[in-house]
Structure 1
Amino acid sequence: MKNLKSLTTVALLTGTLAMTGCMDDLDPIEYPDAGYISIYNGAPSSPAVIIYADQNQVNNFPLKYAEVLSYSNFYPGDRLFKFSESNSVTSLLEKEFEIKVDSVYSMFMVENAGELDAVLVDDDWSEPNADEAQIRMINLSPDAGEVSLLIDDNETAFFSDLAFKFYSEFESLDKDTYNLKVVSSTGKTLATATNLELKGNRVYTLVVRGFEVTTENPKKLDLQLLTNYIDY
């Protein structure tokens, strides 16, 4: 489980929390109640989007496909997220999520058969150490079916049978350089990443994104590594 140190670091990384000055060393730092969310555009055919939480605009610049917004703080409770094209009053997607106090999430925009959706995922990692990385995988490819991850020459899948919009838990790996291969349920190689360095004190998400069949959409299936957290 994430401890207070992790949550505090995430809060500081947002750069948006107000802090009162002139406190002596023994006074605790009081943060307003909040949950923390990063947002990733994993919808291959979608335009760049402006995102709102209720009526509050989240991003100043449109979020393009395969781009991510770093963690920001959000008031707890039920929040209606709206995704719109820049300079448009029409929502492409509206979806409500419950945000809990002192919780950390990743939100992933996804697409299937031209329909947009969003998935909110708990970012529940252990406190990292200098010798290991933590990594999970999420399948955002709408047409790849169930996918598994093979590492180096190991024939046993590290993550197995992740369907569209499904994700693994965070797992630990020794810090090292790895060759990754994502395969279909039939064993077909869908995407690879060679000489990928995973560093200690890091928490990562491996995103499977894009289309296996690119007849109508040129954004082919590939892999993207996101960094959720660094323990400085």
Structure 2
Amino acid sequence: MYFTSKIKMPIRKRLKFAASLIVGSLALTGCLVNLESPQLPPAAYVSIFQGSTAAPAMDVFANQNRVNQSPLTYSQIIPYSAFFTGTRDFRFSAFNSATALLEKNFVLKADSVYSIFVADKAAGIDAILIKDIWKDPVAEKSQLRFVHLSSDTEPVYLEISGSTNPLIPESSFKAISDFKEVNKGNYTLRVKSKETNAILIQTGTLEIQGNRVYSLILRGLSAESTGDKKLDLQLVTNYINY
């Protein structure tokens, strides 16, 4: 299981949001230059997760503007960054290559928050845009969603210790659940086969903290038993409510 670093993201407060971005201007697309200016143009906020086992280290572009300065590799994430709104042409290519592996248009709306997940497909790669919608978390609770990015893993469901009902009743490849509210505490999360109820993978004891919004990502391949491409779980912190 792999944990990514925490991402601060004060939602619905665009100036405060932009000032808190971990990478600052590193992943800004279209250069919203002065984050302190009261006349910033409308912006959307987008994170990009590289979940394709088949993809090389990549460059990401939006309308010809490079999003990342260093290669984006498998299991890495570009934190939420500011993008101009409207139809944006996202291009994914091998690092330092002019040839696109994938080119896809996404519509971004002002003051909205999105995640893009890069995933495997039969030939090449795919990218999935999802609008991130959660309630403001409170001290005693968090919110968690499940993202299924394992191309050779059957439909699954997600169990959380201490509950008799699945947190996520069903998820198939490239499915992204809504955020579900969870009491803060220590839990074990189990991914089980929808067909056989067998445990495919589980976390150790995991602390779910209050005032947080998380994504739990199932990535890798069931066919791989070793190496960084084996089936694994990765926990991403989308938002911390300070």
Task: State the distance in 2 between where 1:211 and 1:145 align.
Answer: 11
Distance 1:215 1:195, change over 3 A: closer
Shift of 1:34: 0.8
* Number of residue-to-residue matches in the alignment: 223
Distance 1:41 1:30, change over 3 A: same
In the alignment, which residue of structure 2 is the partner of 1:118?
127
Shift of 1:11: 2.4
Root-mean-square deviation over aligned CA pairs: 2.0
Task: State the distance in 2 between where 1:206 and 1:50 align.
Answer: 24
Bigger RCO (CA 8 Å, 6+ sep): 2
> Could you say which structure has the larger radius of gyration?
1
2:85 to 76, 80, 83: 76
**Is 2:110 aligned against 1:109?**
no
TM-score for the superposition, normalised by structure 1: 0.89
In the alignment, which residue of structure 2 is the partner of 1:199?
209
In the alignment, which residue of structure 2 is the partner of 1:231?
241
Paired residues for 1:79-98 under 5 Å: 79-98=88-107
2:182 to 173, 193, 206: 173
**Is 2:229 aligned against 1:219?**
yes
**Is 2:8 aligned against 1:4?**
no
Contact 1:45-1:217 at 8 Å conserved across structures: no
Contact 2:185-2:209 at 8 Å conserved across structures: yes
Shift of 1:205: 0.3
Structure 2 gaps, min length 5: 1-9, 26-31
Shift of 1:143: 1.2
Task: State the distance in 2 between where 1:47 and 1:113 align.
Answer: 16
| Matched AA of 1:227 | T
* % same residue: 41
TM-score for the superposition, normalised by structure 2: 0.86
Structure 1 gaps, min length 5: 22-28
Distance 1:9 1:221, change over 3 A: farther
